[in-house]
Amino acid sequence: MTSDAPIGVFDSGVGGISVIRQLRHDMPSERFLFFGDSANAPYGEKTPERVCELSFAIVERLRERGVKAVVIACNTATSAAAKQLREHYDMPIIGMEPALKVACDRGHGTPQRVIVAATPLTLHEHKFAALVDRFKAEHTIHAQPCPDLVTLLEHGRLGNHEAVMATLHGYFDRYDLDDIDSVVLGCTHFIFFRDYFRELLPDRIAIVDGNPGTSHHLREVLAERDALAHADVTGGVELSNSDTSMRMTTLARSLLDR
């Protein structure tokens, strides 16, 4: 591992660009190679075995580019494949999980009422069940699958206010939001909808995501290995996608530049 090697980042589609934005902000000297698998999106409705297969193919692609670490910028792929990837590769594999701990810790000892919004596969995997088990004795946790948000972003409909708000109301009108303390955005696609969530939710409800924690963890891992890029180096982002259409290229660039 050398400090000037790039960092690989991948997602089931373009949602992981929200992670790239955080990483680029926190580590401007690093070079990032992002791969979105939009041709196979959404991962959240596939079997764990298929998601694992797709993840291995992507990480092998990134390994061939000489990356020094890989960030799985996808909660679903982390749930399905992170353990197996770490067993197979000797480079750091940084995964993600819904930031439930952050949401529960906000109460400073007071029980919290939390909605975790994520993909169906993330919410049904053992990894999420184990995470909930750590907190459910003291906190009230609602798991809310929101697969249509992934589809809206992948189809370039982020700016369609009517469609997005109708989708959110379809998922969240079942809750008494006056009885909720926070909503966890447990899919990297959902972070691009933060302003819509803010419009939907009462001001007192916090909106939490795992991107800052993932970035912090990556920086710590690289620092331990003396593999951080030198501060005087100019970093950058290279975007690629299994959907090679001009529409997807334009969408990915627009999300990076938001």
The amino acid occupying position 163 is A
What's the DSSP call for residue 216? H
What is the pTM for the complete model shown? 0.96
In 3D space, the residue among 185, 8, 220, 197 whose CA is nearest the CA of residue 93 turns out to be 8
Query: What is the C-alpha radius of gyration for the chain, rounded to an integer number of angstroms?
Result: 18
Q: For 207-251, how does the pLDDT look when each residue is reduced to its tens digit (9 = 90+)? A: 999 999 999 999 999 999 999 999 999 999 999 999 999 999 999
- Residue 84, H or E segment: helix 75-88
In 3D space, the residue among 26, 94, 12 whose CA is nearest the CA of residue 55 turns out to be 12
pLDDT classification of 2: cutoffs 50, 70, 90: confident
> Residue 170: which residues within 8 A CB-CB, separation 6 or more?
148
Query: Active site residue: 52, 74, 104, 146, which one?
Result: 74
Locate 235 and state its tokens. 């970093």
d(C-alpha 258, C-alpha 253), whole Å: 9
Phi, psi of 118 (to 5 degrees): -160, -175
**Is the Cβ–Cβ distance between 99 and 78 less than 8 Å?**
no
Q: Is 74 a catalytic residue?
A: yes
Query: Active site residue: 52, 104, 146, 187, which one?
Result: 187
Is residue 97 pLDDT above 80, yes or no? yes
pLDDT classification of 1: cutoffs 50, 70, 90: low
